[in-house]
Structure 1
Amino acid sequence: MRHYLFKTCVIVLCLQSFCISSTAFADEIRQVPIDEKVITEHKMQINGKKISYHATTGTQPVWDDEGHPTATLFYTYYQRTDIKDDSNRPLIISFNGGPGSASVWMHIAYTGPRVLNVDDEGYPLQPYGVKNNDYSILDTADIVYVNPVNTGYSRVLPNAKGKMPSKDEQQKMFFGVNADIKYLAEWVTTFVTRNERWRSPKYLIGESYGTARVSGLALELQKNQWMYPNGVILVSPTDLGIERNGPVKAANRLPYFAAAAWYHKVLGEDLLQQDLTPLLAEVEQFTLNQYLPALAKGSFIEPEEKQRIAEQVARYSGLSVTEVLQSNLDIDTNYFWKALLRDRQQTIGRLDSRYIGIDEKTVGGRPDYNAELTSWLHSFTPAINDYLRTELNYKTDLKYNMFGPVHPWDKSKDNTGANLRLAMAQNPYLNVMIQSGYYDGATNYFDAKYTMWQLDRSGLMKHRLSFKGYRSGHMMYLRHDDLKQSNQDLREFIKTTLPTTGQPAKY
């Protein structure tokens, strides 16, 4: 389907006194206007149905308690224009992770109206660019993609005296688990107010570290902004502050090891003859019932049991029994990525283990680079820069930060999982869905299941928690079949979690 651009309307508001500039520098210094928007009009087809929509790109400020702008966030907002009443139309608020990552990944590869020009498995193709996303959820919900401070075109601003905050001051303001959640909640409230979306059902979606962000935002929005979401979607989630160290951390890797080994056909023939999902169910049962208890015994495990467990771990992981024993049953992921295909002189990717890398030396305990990330940057970087400028008409000389300077990041007091549980308890409308790729070695799918199991240990809300798995990696939507299925899963989640007319929010 060809993408049509009909006309461009530019609305600009730039408070020049608060742009990133200084009278000490030349007028030609690159600046970011703190409050502007550019609107373009489009039409497309989704699942065979024609829709019309606006795309708004722009910046919106973050303010301090005295009303001074401290940063400005770049965003892209897609809104259907062929809907007469949007009071019941869902609004999706989308974040990526890092921390320090722009919103580019889900924007132009997952839920938005345009997706990368990649092959069916997600590998880059030239010419670089975007194409129509036939499966976008824009038919069902409007979407805003938010770039936190220092990502995309978002930037820290000078203070009221015209000076940039120090690095320590910036960290306290923006760069930590709780600071991030606090300023983003304020930003979201301003956005919802400006765009008159208070009546709309609202959903938060985050990927990777973005899952900690939206989990914390769910409670922060309810507690301090009096805004109650209908759903939270966790794509390739982190631990959300829910501890899984020691034996749990080690054991939870095995189902992912089995998935990667199955994909690269290094398991025994009896296992390769199985389909992936029943094989993983088998490995999960072994992990919970035998592997985890064995690891918990540490050095006091009986030699016979240790040998038996090592043989089974080797059988499922594709490694040798010797490697498992020499690891004391606890296999490091870096070693796995380096060793699984060592005989082929290849490494496998961290975030998506379908991707292959080649190192300078076959020996060693970790790959030289992340094979999947270099492949993705091939596609995403030229595509987002071209798309924003040529199709959405957002013109700037600022560099689009795929990954921005946000470190050191304050990881202390990460209670985002507990906060999400409390938000669910406070809000009977609030449901949670987790989406994970089986070949993700960074935030593996079994860790995601474990997080879901531990999120509400009372079990009173487990009917409001769901999990979806896909045959790809961290960004499962790069694979064509999973792009289609994962968007459909989102669509169904939204539709099934919207309350019926007259349904009260009560237990």
Structure 2
Amino acid sequence: MPTDDRSTDTPAAQPADAGTPADTPSADPTPSADTVTPEHRPPAGASAAMTWAPDGHDPLTVTATAGWTVLRREESPAAEVFAVAYTLDGADPGERPVTFVFNGGPGASSAFLHVGAIGPRRIVVPEDGSLPAMPVRLTDNDASWLPWTDLVFVDPVGTGFSRPVPAKDGEENGKDTKAGDPGYYSFASDLAALREFTSRWLSANGRWASPVWLAGESYGGYRIGRLARSLPVDEGVGLSGVVLISPAMELAPLTMTDYSVEGFVDVVPTMAAAALHHGRIRGVDDAAGVEEVMAAATSFAATDYVTFLAQGAAMAPERRAAVLSRLADLTGLDPALVERLHGRIPIDRFVRELLRDDQQVIGLYDATQTVVDPFPDREPFGGAEHTLHGMTAAFTMGANQVIRGEIGVTTERQYHLLSMAVNKAWRADEDAHALESPGGATDDLRYGLAVNPHLQVLVVHGRHDLVTALHTSQRLVNQMRLDPTAAGRVRLRAYDGGHMFYTLGHSRSAFTADVAELYGVTSPG
């Protein structure tokens, strides 16, 4: 795995005076604490006082600070990482935790968690979690974690306002520019950048005495599993706990082929939950709830169905027919279709087929959400995935309202909510064998739990997320071979909704209550 080749003798960059023109170097040539090298300064940041006072909560006064930290490679500035920090005024930094928050993708900014779930302000969405009317509005977030922790929302390189620093005079500055990658678009280099940012932020803000927590969503959950091991080892940052939100801890289940097993097994319970929600499930008690249905589907998937997938043509015809019939009933699909697919149902096919007779497509990221199929005669669905990309405008507008409008950052840069350029440029690490798959995060999380007997872990999912399915994490936790002490420090929770379950008010509230319990808070308000 590539080592972190940054220089360690330079303090972290701090936001410059808010009056400095955006995206231009400071006119003051004198090196100071906020410079990385005399010839390079990041754009000007901004800071603002903010009062968080949702109904039913005691008001809190926090300072919101937004700005760029410069990362270095081989003594040269290589990237400017943008982050927004909310710190409670007057709090004891030795007692007050600080939580670093990021999303996944790869290529996603932190805006989903920033203005959707955890930050002091969130976008207003309908009660059913569907797309709000534009322009999106903001409100004080009654489910924010601010009552018990400071928050730092981090945009990895290439996302949000974070950018690589262009090389000068043709020099590479220690960066690999192959395939559009400035040296940060791979598994190990991405983790190295997040570690560097974390330690620089702690140093620059005098927070090495604070309890440190991590929270990440989707591929951000993968990042957190890996950081649970490498952040203490490589940066000396001890962790109090981690929150993995709709995580992709292992990458293999995300790929479904005619020869794979795990991915197909893991999504059956979620498909059953979707079929129940839309009234298409068969062969279950009419009074059965979603948890009962998912438990039955999990039992089927982990026994008869996994045996069917593993045996293939070796399974006896009568038993094969019984398995396919049960699979069709649980998923709500036409038995003839399940037969044609040989019992392997890709999730993108499932979302087109479940409600095809109503000309509706359900969501990959939230199977409770539907959209009219504009091209029912075509394959595949003729547009962006509506439960993720359909929310792009809402989260982008919300992030810009907070960062530019409320905190006061002035920049001509576009806020990249989801960068497909970063996603497409992502690659395996150079020192890996040609046939070696990227390492998963579960082993690193196991290691972190073993060497840190105080580490607390919370893994959370939406029941209707087909992309990072609940059963995947249930299976992985059961396969981690944890001793009773470590197992007691791992919590797994599920809520109504999908990948971004926190768009549902009751799920967001339940999530926040579980996080407060994890942090040891008895009165979240």
Per the TM superposition, whether the score is higher than 0.5 is yes
Shift of 1:357: 2.2
1:220 aligns with 230
1:331 corresponds to which residue?
A: 345
Structure 2 CA distance, aligned partners of 1:308 and 1:460?
A: 41
2:109 alignment counterpart: 102
Tell whether 2:442 aligns with 1:408: no
Change in Cα spacing, 1:152 to 1:275, as seen in structure 2 (3 Å) is: same
Moved more, 428-437 or 118-127: 118-127
Amino acid at match of 1:470: Y
- Deviation string 1:278-317 (CA, Å, 9 cap, x unpaired) is 2211221122122212222111111111111111111110
Question: Does the CA-based 8 Å contact 2:18-2:409 persist in structure 1?
Answer: no
Given candidates 479, 496, 499, the residue that maps to 2:504 is 479
Give 1:343 deviation, angstroms: 0.7
Alignment partner of 1:207 is 2:217 = yes
* 1:121 lines up with 2:128 in the alignment: yes
Counterparts of 1:458 and 1:284, CA distance in 2: 24
Q: 1:157 and 2:182 equivalent? A: no
Aligned with 1:410: secondary structure? Answer: coil
Q: Where in structure 2 are the equivalents of 1:71-470 lying within 5 Å?
A: 71-83=79-91, 85-123=92-130, 124-159=132-167, 161=169, 167-168=177-178, 171=181, 173-241=183-251, 246-268=260-282, 270-363=284-377, 366-369=380-383, 370-404=385-419, 405-406=421-422, 407-411=424-428, 412-456=437-481, 461-470=486-495
Deviation, 1:75, is 0.5
Inter-partner Cα distance in structure 2 for 1:132 and 1:38: 20
Distance 1:439 1:197 in 2: 38
Partner deviation per Cα, 1:72-103 (whole Å, 9 max, x = no partner):
011000011142x1212111100101101111
Deviations 1:366-423 (A, max 9, x none): 4223121243123112221222111111111111111223232124532422122112
Choose 349-358 or 188-197, whichever is displaced more: 349-358
Please point out which of 37, 57, 60 is paired with 2:66. Answer: 57
Q: Residue 23 of structure 2 contacts residue 412 of structure 2 at CA under 8 Å; is this kept in 1?
A: no
SS at match of 1:371: coil
1:4 corresponding residue in structure 2: none
Deviations along 1:466-503, one digit per CA (max 9) or x if unpaired, are 11101100011011111111111111111179xxxxxx
Could you tell me which residue of structure 1 aligns to residue 12 of structure 2?
A: none
- C-alpha distance in structure 1 between counterparts of 2:279 and 2:179, whole Å: 51
- Could you tell me which amino acid in structure 2 is paired with residue 177 of structure 1? F
- Contact kept, 8 Å, 2:460 with 2:493, in 1: the verdict is yes
Q: Which runs of 5 or more structure 2 residues have no equivalent in the other structure?
A: 1-16, 28-39, 429-436
Separation in 2, partners of 1:293, 1:277: 24
Distance 1:443 1:214, change over 3 A: same
8 A contact 2:47–2:64 mirrored in 1: yes
Distance 1:289 1:240 in 2: 22
Number of aligned residues: 475
Q: Hey, what's the Cα distance between the residues in 2 that align with 1:117 and 1:469?
A: 23
- Larger CA deviation: 349-358 vs 154-163: 154-163
Output the aligned Cα RMSD.
2.5
Q: Deviations over 1:420-450 (max 9, x none)?
A: 2112211111122111011111111111212
Output the CA distance in 2 between the equivalents of 1:283 and 1:243: 18
Q: Residue 337 of structure 1 aligns to a residue in which SS?
A: helix
Amino acid at match of 2:425: P
Looking at structure 1, the residues matched to 176 and 26 of structure 2 have their Cα atoms a distance apart, in angstroms, of 17
Instruction: State whether residues 353 and 473 of structure 1, in contact with CA within 8 Å, keep that contact through their aligned partners in structure 2.
Output: yes
Structure 2 vs 1, CA of residues 196 and 15 (structure 1 numbering), >3 Å: closer, same or farther?
farther
1-structure distance, mates of 2:507, 2:279: 21
**Segment drifting more, 338-347 vs 313-322:** 313-322
SS in 2 for 1:381: helix
CA contact (8 A) 1:33 1:59 kept: no
Shift of 1:219: 1.5
Using the alignment, how far apart are the partners of 2:152 and 2:226 within structure 1?
18
- 1:269–1:130 Cα change, 3 Å: farther
Q: Quick one: distance in 2 between partners of 1:209 and 1:199? A: 28
Report the TM-score, using the length of structure 2 for normalisation: 0.85
SS at match of 2:479: helix
Distance in 2 (CA, whole Å) between partners of 1:289 and 1:496 is 40
TM-score for both structures, normalised by structure 1: 0.88
Deviation at 1:183, TM superposition (A): 1.7
Residues 211 and 240 of structure 1 are in contact (CA less than 8 Å); yes or no, is this contact kept in structure 2?
no
* Secondary structure in 2 matching 1:138: coil
SS across alignment from 1:469: strand
Query: Which residue in 2 is equivalent to 1:501?
Result: none
Q: CA deviation at 1:121?
A: 1.8
Q: Residues of 2 paired with 1:318 and 1:373: CA distance?
A: 24
Q: 1:169 to 1:189 in 2, by over 3 A?
A: farther
Secondary structure (helix, strand or coil) at the match of 1:214 reads helix
Change (3 A) 1:126 1:15: closer
Q: Which amino acid aligns with 1:403?
A: L
- CA drift at 1:264: 1.2
Matched with 1:43 is 51
Percent identity of paired positions between Structure 1 and Structure 2: 26
* SS of equivalent residue, structure 1 residue 439: coil
Tell me the alpha carbon deviations over residues 150-183 of structure 1, each in whole angstroms, 9 at most, x when there is no partner: 1111011023547676632863720111110012
Unmatched 5+ stretches in structure 1 = 1-8, 20-31, 498-507
